[in-house]
Amino acid sequence: MDSLRGQLLIASPSLVDPNFHRSVVLVTHHDEDGAMGLVLNRPSATAVAEAVPELEDLVESGDWVYVGGPVEPGAALLLAELEKPEDAAAVVFADIGFPPDSPVPGSTRRLRVFAGYAGWSAGQLEAELEESAWILAAAERDDVFAEDSEELWSAVLRRKGGHFAILATMPPDPSLN
């Protein structure tokens, strides 16, 4: 399988794991050894200024830390829209990537802080895709920094169109419908 780096994984309605229910994950790394990604639509209740005060000058006032996934929840990962992608620790797509270890104000256009990440061992993500646990979509810059991240799942499905647009109207718990 070709690398899915830079693609979105949209949780299908059949994916009931609470870590990923209605999640949108940006695949940040994918090769034969496994994959890594960041959940884009899980803001925590903790402000960046409170959790990592040294990053306060790099983010907008009042920005939240996002729950990037269940692996290493105590680790802070930074994902940015970079002024100079060639200076990134790793580029995910276009000018979106992991900034250098010590980003300075002005080196990023936008930055989001994540606690933890999502990880898959070799072949695990491919198996989940075969089981239709995930729907693939192309990532866009604004997906990474969505203002209303709670609506991101529906918005990306609507953007895909067709039967996915209908799926986007599904309530979070269909049994309550």
Domain assignment present for 1: no
Could you tell me the two tokens for 98? 């992991």
Domain assignment present for 27: yes
For the domain that residue 18 is a member of, what is the CATH number?
A: 3.40.1740.10
- 161-117-56 Cα angle (round to 5): 100
What is the predicted pLDDT for the residue at 63?
95
What is the predicted pLDDT for the residue at 170?
82
Helices (H), 44-115: 48-51
What is the predicted pLDDT for the residue at 21?
94
Domain assignment present for 91: yes
Instruction: Kindly list the distances between the CA atom of residue 93 and the CA atoms of 63, 96, 164, in Å, as whole numbers in the listed order.
Output: 23, 5, 24
Q: What is the Cα–Cα distance from 32 to 48, expressed in whole angstroms?
A: 34
Its domain, for residue 143, covers: 7-176
Domain assignment present for 129: yes
Domain assignment present for 48: yes
Domain assignment present for 107: yes
Domain assignment present for 102: yes
Q: Please name which of 175, 155, 173 lies closest in space to residue 165, comparing C-alpha atoms.
A: 155
What is the predicted pLDDT for the residue at 14?
87
Domain assignment present for 2: no
Burial classification of residue 67, based on how many CB atoms lie within 10 Å of its CB (0-12 exposed, 13-18 middle, 19 or more buried):
buried
pLDDT tens per residue, range 29-56: 999 999 999 999 999 999 999 999 999 9
pLDDT tens for the 177 residues of the chain, in order: 699 999 999 999 989 899 999 999 999 999 999 999 999 999 999 999 999 999 999 999 899 999 999 999 999 999 999 999 998 999 999 999 999 888 888 889 999 999 999 999 999 999 999 999 999 999 999 999 998 988 999 999 999 999 999 989 887 766 555
Q: What is the Cα–Cα distance from 59 to 108, expressed in whole angstroms?
A: 9
Domain count, the chain: 1
